Amino acid sequence: MAKINLRPWREELRQEKQKEYVGVLVLVLMAAGMIWWFVSGAYNSAINDQESRNQYIETQISALDKKIKEIQELRTKRQELLDRMKLIQDLQGNRPVIVRIFDEMARVMPEELFFTSVSAKGKQFTLKGLASSNDQISQLMRNFDGSPWFANPNLLGVKAGDNGYNSFDMLVEQSTPATEAVK
């Protein structure tokens, strides 16, 4: 007799293939989940590392900014000190010059002429005085012109006084003589 298989083998084969498909699908999903977990972990780790590097750089930048500010303050203080030193040196160097100028003023002044006021603004002197005649004022201007310490005498005005003296106003500039003339 002929053998007839009445079992639903196709149905069993289909169920078996479906179980195999579901198993492979679960394995693929698990592998995809694992890959996603590793990749996201690597990205998060890289982001955290970069953020920590950025934080380190920001702290170093702020420390360097403080040092730069301190250096700028020190440079400013240094320049102020250098300016003060230069001013002091200039004042120390000019101290004997003032004495020489007043000494030279006394030397160039003719007899019967005297100053009532001497004021200085920079290197320009304003002189006010009294003279017995205009000749003494002219002699004073010639003496200033011939002096190594003075230059450009300029007579501003002469007024005759009641007491027999002429009052005068004069401008004269200070000049620096050559070193041979100072000795």
Domains of the chain: 89-182 (3.30.70.2830)
The predicted structure's pLDDT at residue 164 = 81
The predicted structure's pLDDT at residue 62 = 96
Amino acid type, 67: K
Cα R_g (the chain), whole angstroms: 52
The predicted structure's pLDDT at residue 181 = 45
Does pLDDT of 180 surpass 60? no
Q: What are the φ/ψ torsions at residue 63 (nearest 5 degrees)?
A: -65, -40
Express each pLDDT in 155-178 by its tens digit.
889 888 778 888 999 999 988 776
Cα 90 from Cα 2, distance rounded (Å): 135
Express each pLDDT in 82-122 by its tens digit.
999 998 887 777 677 778 888 888 888 888 888 899 998 88
Express each pLDDT in 133-150 by its tens digit.
888 888 989 998 888 888
N-term to C-term CA, the chain: 155
The predicted structure's pLDDT at residue 5 = 67
Cα 88 from Cα 81, distance rounded (Å): 10
Token output for 139:
């002699």
Place of tokens 């953020």: 51
Q: In what order do the strands lie in the sheet with 124-131?
A: 113-121, 124-131, 166-174, 150-160
The predicted structure's pLDDT at residue 1 = 62
The predicted structure's pLDDT at residue 103 = 87
Express each pLDDT in 10-65 by its tens digit.
888 899 999 999 999 999 999 999 999 999 999 999 999 999 999 999 999 999 99
User: Strand runs (DSSP E) across 122-176, as ranges?
Assistant: 124-131, 150-160, 166-174
